[in-house]
A and B are shown apart, each in its own frame.
Chain A
Amino acid sequence: MPDLDPAATQPPTQKPPAGRYFRRFTREQRYMHAVLFTTFLGLAGTGLPIRFSESIWARGLAKAVGGFGAILFFHKLFAVVLTIAFLLHLKEVFQRGLLHREKGVFWGPNSMVGSPKDVKDLFAHLRWFVGLGPRPQFDRYAYWEKFDYWAVFWGMIVIGFSGYAMWFAPFFAHFLPGWALNAVLVIHSEEGLLAILFIFSIHFVNTHLRPDSFPMDMVVFTGVESEEEFKLKRPLEYQRLAREGKLESRLGEAAPTWLINFSRVVGTIAIVIGLTLLVLTLTAYFS
């Protein structure tokens, strides 16, 4: 999600004794992530039993939530909530980028839109992995973070459209050819599987489980990160803000202990559910 203009955010607060904290995500962005991962886990948990309906665990899971009728009901419910969240996001982008002509929504370091630097960063990063070059310096959104964003964006359009086409098949048949009704199931299930495998393995590791963030990156829950972390993970953004004298405007308060603990519990549950579904998916896929 495009970042809010730093000027529009809260004034800086006093330095916490344990070091300075900087705001990365707004409250709305954190809520959006919470809605996204809750509905995503729900959709994966209710979609996988349908995709692998021959597996024993699929039948067990279906029985546990009250049979197939209940599973389909919850799948549709999560889908509707996610659709609303997606539309709200589109509305925000449209308002800020097109109506209010806010700068930096579609281009620049604060935008989610890809740039040539992302391609350069990717190759530089790969070279660094194998020891052929220095570690690239990232700005506010690194290339894999932008990929995550667009993967979800594309996924919601593709999975959403194919899902609604199945839900309201006779209606969609007014303007879709007959074979498309067959294709939407293939598209829905393959794209859904890709999203599940990607989020529960790549996104989990890239964002949360990699050594720099292990066991989870709290910034998406608390909205703030320490100065040290900020400098190391996003040096270009830090330097840019320092150069422009805007660093102070991004200062935030350290998250209260209850929020950190709450986030840890929620995050752990999400990761455990995700990894469980990943294992079940892989066993069903290869059996």
Chain B
Amino acid sequence: MLPIAAAPRRAARFAARFARKVCMAAALLTLFALATGRLAAQTDCLACHGDAGMTDSGGHSISVDGKTFSSSIHGSLKCNDCHADIKEYPHPDKVAKVECKNCHADESSSLAGSVHADAKEHPCTSCHGDAHSIFPKADSRSKVYPLNVPATCGQCHSNQGMGQKHGLPSIYPQYIDSIHGFALSKEGLLVAANCQSCHGSHHILSHTDPQSPTYKTNIPKTCGSCHAKINDDYMAGAHGKAVAKGNLKAPVCSDCHTAHAILQPTESAFRMQSTPICGSCHKDKLSTYRDTFHSQLGSLGGYVETARCWDCHGAHEILPASDPRSPINQANLVATCGKCHAGANQRFVQYQPHANAHDRKLSPALFYVRLFMNLLLAGTLTFFVIHTILWLIRARYNQIKDKQKDGGKHA
């Protein structure tokens, strides 16, 4: 072989050896960096945790969808901003629990004083969802987006699971079929009241706590934050004034409308259920109403047109008859009754919608009419029942006697 031919062969061998060394060095460097270097970017962690099937020794998923996470509210953070105890690789099998309160101190302290204070049962993620896919509450992907709130709370506050475990009432089905629930789930109204509109979010208190927005005397204000005009009317009426004076027996919004199963008041179901609600306090008025045409007709299913309490008395601004603004003030009766009874006149409105036929002083004419009718009924029936029973016995006696004689059918 010519010496001149050896040079290029040596060069090639050198190049191959050099390349092998560079590769080795690069590999070693990478390994070194991974093994002992500080973890800096999400990509470092995602190199392993990006694997969708990754689980811990207990079988729980410890994978993170990098794409979702980077678009989430915490997407700009580094993993160990939250997982603060993980500083290098490899990290220990057991890692500390993430403390949201390190950043979210206000929310955390609010939560601590609330009905959800038991953090074991209620970590932030119960409501905000998976820690790596938390979105701002205005984002429709967020678990606390107004349209998603009922389903989020409903995870526990419904028939299943925790609701049964803690003996909590099943609120979700009631809410979702209510006027608020319909507005939210069917119409997608962002302003429709969802759970946290009334209960708050982090600092949720029991309705027995005077600080709670759902404490009896606070309810008008809570509902009034949306229903401002109705709140004004209510506060001007007899019930509002009584509550303002501290009378806890007087009804607030939820006593008549219920808290969660709120119905459209013009709906027949509400018209059917409203009278007994008023009657649970106004017992004497309910019993006299029961005796009238309005009630007798109105009690039968499917017919809701007859007057209910609030058709005459008003619903929110309920005023005594002595008040000239009251719909049941003498001067307003023709108009009030005329809403249903076209052609109502002054004499027509003398009708007593709460007449008591058993009260001689209150309704003397009616008392005597009833007495006469009762005596007529009792007298006629008593006489004829005795008459007919005696007749039956005698006729049967004769029939049997005659049958023995000639077997005839007729006595």
From residue A144, how far is it (CB to closest CB) to chain B in Å? Answer: 8
- Per-position 1/0 for B343-355, Cβ under 8 A of A: 1110111111001
Given A67-B300, A72-B297, A129-B394; A173-B347 close (CB under 8 Å)? yes
Given A69-B303, A126-B390, A194-B376; A176-B347 close (CB under 8 Å)? yes
A248 within 8 A of B: no
Residue contact A190 to B374, C-beta cutoff 8 Å = yes
What's the Cα separation between A176 and B352 when bound, in Å? 14
From residue B295, how far is it (CB to closest CB) to chain A in Å? Answer: 7
Residues from chain A with a CB closer than 8 A to the CB of B349 are: 178
- List chain B positions with a Cβ less than 8 A from chain A: 290, 292-293, 295-303, 341-345, 347-352, 355, 357, 363, 365-366, 369-370, 373-374, 376-377, 380-381, 384-385, 387-388, 390-396, 399, 408, 410-411
Residue contact A182 to B366, C-beta cutoff 8 Å = yes
A206 within 8 A of B: yes
From residue B248, how far is it (CB to closest CB) to chain A in Å? Answer: 31
Residue contact B410 to A229, C-beta cutoff 8 Å = yes
Chain B: CB-nearest residue to A232: B410
A130 within 8 A of B: yes
Residue contact B352 to A206, C-beta cutoff 8 Å = no
8 tightest Cβ-Cβ pairs between the two chains A and B: A178-B350, A67-B302, A68-B303, A173-B348, A190-B373, A53-B299, A170-B343, A129-B390
Chain A: CB-nearest residue to B387: A126
Residue contact B343 to A210, C-beta cutoff 8 Å = no
> For residues 166 through 185 of chain A, which have their beta carbon under 8 Å from a beta carbon of chain B?
166, 169-171, 173-174, 176-183, 185
- Per-position 1/0 for A32-53, Cβ under 8 A of B: 0000000000000000011101
- List chain A positions with a Cβ less than 8 A from chain B: 49-51, 53-54, 58-59, 62-63, 66-69, 71-72, 125-126, 128-131, 144, 151, 166, 169-171, 173-174, 176-183, 185-187, 190-191, 193-194, 197-198, 201-202, 205-206, 210-212, 228-229, 232-233
What's the Cα separation between A126 and B124 when bound, in Å? 90
Given A187-B369, A211-B399; A62-B301 close (CB under 8 Å)? yes
Per DSSP, chain A at the interface is: helix
Residue contact B411 to A198, C-beta cutoff 8 Å = no
Given A179-B350, A181-B350, A211-B411; A54-B388 close (CB under 8 Å)? no
Residues from chain B with a CB closer than 8 A to the CB of A171 are: 343
Residue contact B381 to A68, C-beta cutoff 8 Å = no
What's the Cα separation between A229 and B350 when bound, in Å? 57
Residue contact A194 to B377, C-beta cutoff 8 Å = yes
What's the Cα separation between A37 and B327 when bound, in Å? 45
Residue contact A173 to B392, C-beta cutoff 8 Å = no
Residue contact A198 to B348, C-beta cutoff 8 Å = no
Question: Of B366, B380, B390, B394, which contacts A183 at CB under 8 A?
Answer: B366
Chain A: CB-nearest residue to B379: A194
Chain A: CB-nearest residue to B352: A182
Residue contact A169 to B341, C-beta cutoff 8 Å = yes
From residue B267, how far is it (CB to closest CB) to chain A in Å? Answer: 15
**Known A49-B300, A174-B345, A201-B388; further 13 A-B contacts with Cβ < 8 A:** A53-B296, A53-B298, A63-B301, A67-B300, A68-B301, A173-B351, A176-B347, A179-B365, A186-B357, A202-B385, A202-B388, A205-B392, A212-B410
Residues from chain B with a CB closer than 8 A to the CB of A176 are: 347
Residues from chain A with a CB closer than 8 A to the CB of B377 are: 190-191, 193-194, 197
